[in-house]
Amino acid sequence: MNFIQTRGCDETRAESVTFSEAILSPIASFGGLYVPENLPELGEAFLNEHLNSSYKELAAAMLGRFEIDIEKNVIDEALSLYDKFDDPSNPVPVVKVKENLYVSELYHGPTRAFKDMALQPFGIVLSSIAQKRDEHYLILAATSGDTGPAALETFKNRANVQVVCLYPDGGTSDVQRLQMVTEDAKNLKVIGIKGVFDDAQNALKKLLASTEFKAALKEKNILLSAANSVNFGRIIFQIIYHIHSYLELVRQSAITMGEKVYLNVPSGNFGNALGAYYAWKMGLPVEKIIISSNENNVLTKLIKTGKYDLRDAHVLNTTSPAMDILKSSNVERILYDMFGYERTRELMQDLESKNFYELSSTELMELQKSFDADFCTGDEGKAYIKDTFDNNGYLMDPHTATCMKSYETCSNPRIKTIAYSTAEWTKFSPVIANALTGEVDAQDIVALESIAKEAKLSIPSMIKELFAKEIVQKTVIEKEDIEKEILKFL
């Protein structure tokens, strides 16, 4: 399978590229992104065939349908990392929480967040391509809290790869920050920036598109790639767990094969939601994809009104910081799939130049055939955390809690819903402790112990050990100094 470009081709690049080329150089013509030339059709036959498959077997079969140019032994090695999750036989448990509401737990990997699902195998795939080509790569990652730890974890000490991770100083949870700043592998550099996630992501996209920066890297014999979900190497692994979660409901006799479900996704940069959309397009029986947001609710407004309006918008700091994002990169891939490259380029250029675009009424109707949306305030989220724990015995993080609101407002109660839990409770313990016990401004370690006692849980060792580790990544800079700091590291 080849990959094509969301904004068309500017003739400085090939019209289509292989999977390995798309993940090594993820920014396409006119600042666009790469998408599959066509999606493989899975359908009910594929689902029935893999009803009793393990997660790894399902993943290998799905990747096989994409016919990517990666050797089988590399894919097998990449997928073997799921064996290091909490339960190797089922790395993504799907748990019934309420009548007709099931939660797909995507956080059972090494950094306790859903980014492990894609970034664990992605690290091996990219490093192996670099070694095969005898090339050296700088991998850029911009994080609102979860991509960074997962990218650092998967790439540390891998051959032919160096990683620079940008995060908003003060814009992540303490646990997320500690997961990054305690990493001591020589091929990793963590940079806090004085700004918000959108500043980090904009800097990443600017560097990926900069001929001057690439020329400076070339002098050092280094090429450039990215670990954010602008990279399709991330997205392809995010399609799999949506298919797995559906099959889990069939296995649990919660639904019959072919029965439609809602997929309810807490969404920041839209990669998780895009994986759901592609799974649906490939044949997964889906009623609709529900997008759950926090107070940074640009996606809710887009899906409800057709307007992507950032003209007076400022990032709000919320209790679900991994979703404190205004420019959701992967919406572009949806626009391309629905409206083609010319319209996508027009809309994205409007967003970049005017901080605004508006879909036509016909385009909005097309978008709403696939998506519905709502947003949840921090106080509402904490109420859902407490209510769901008290009445259903289920503990969730504040990002997952946003799904509870949209479950009530956007779903037909007779149709089953799969909501996606993107982080373990340990990642955002002060918010959860406040929700459960009323504690205010508790430090992470105090909040963790409080929740563990209240919920009769143990704190996972990889989280508890963070508080005793030495902080080795101490760089915090102005966003204007990012390029200079990266070149100094290299």
Phi, psi of 164 (to 5 degrees): -120, 125
Can you tell me which residue has the tokens 């790894």?
A: 56
- Look at residue 307 and tell me whether its pLDDT is greater than 90: yes
Pairing relation of β-strands 261-266 and 161-168? unpaired
What CA–CA distance (Å, rounded) separates 158 from 138?
12
What are the tens digits of pLDDT across the range 225-276? Answer: 999 889 999 999 999 999 999 999 999 999 999 999 999 999 989 999 999 9
Cα–Cα dist 33/157, whole Å:
28
Query: What is the reported pLDDT for 11?
Result: 86
Round to whole Å and give the CA distance between 273 and 262.
12
DSSP 3-state assignment of 113?
strand
> Which of 146, 144, 139, 154 shows the shortest CA–CA distance to 193?
144
> 402 with 293: CB under 8 angstroms?
yes
Taken in order 195, 201, 204, 206, is the CA torsion positive or negative? negative
What is the percentage of the chain residues whose pLDDT exceeds 90?
97
The strand ranges marked E within 78-120 are 94-98, 101-105
Q: Where are the beta strands (DSSP E) in 169-310?
A: 188-193, 223-226, 261-266, 286-293, 307-309
Angle between helices 482-489 and 197-209 (to 10 degrees): 70
Q: How far apart are CA 28 and CA 35, in angstroms?
A: 10
Closest residue by Cα to residue 124 from 88, 75, 184: 75
Give the pLDDT confidence of 454-490 residue by residue, as tens digits: 999 999 999 999 999 999 999 999 999 999 999 999 9
Q: What is the pLDDT of residue 219?
A: 95
pLDDT digits (tens, 9 = 90+) for 332-360: 999 999 999 999 999 999 999 999 999 99
Categorize the per-residue pLDDT at 116 as very low, low, confident or very high, splitting at 50, 70 and 90: very high
HEC-encoded secondary structure of 266-306: ECCCCHHHHHHHHHHHCCCCEEEEEEEECCCCHHHHHHHHC
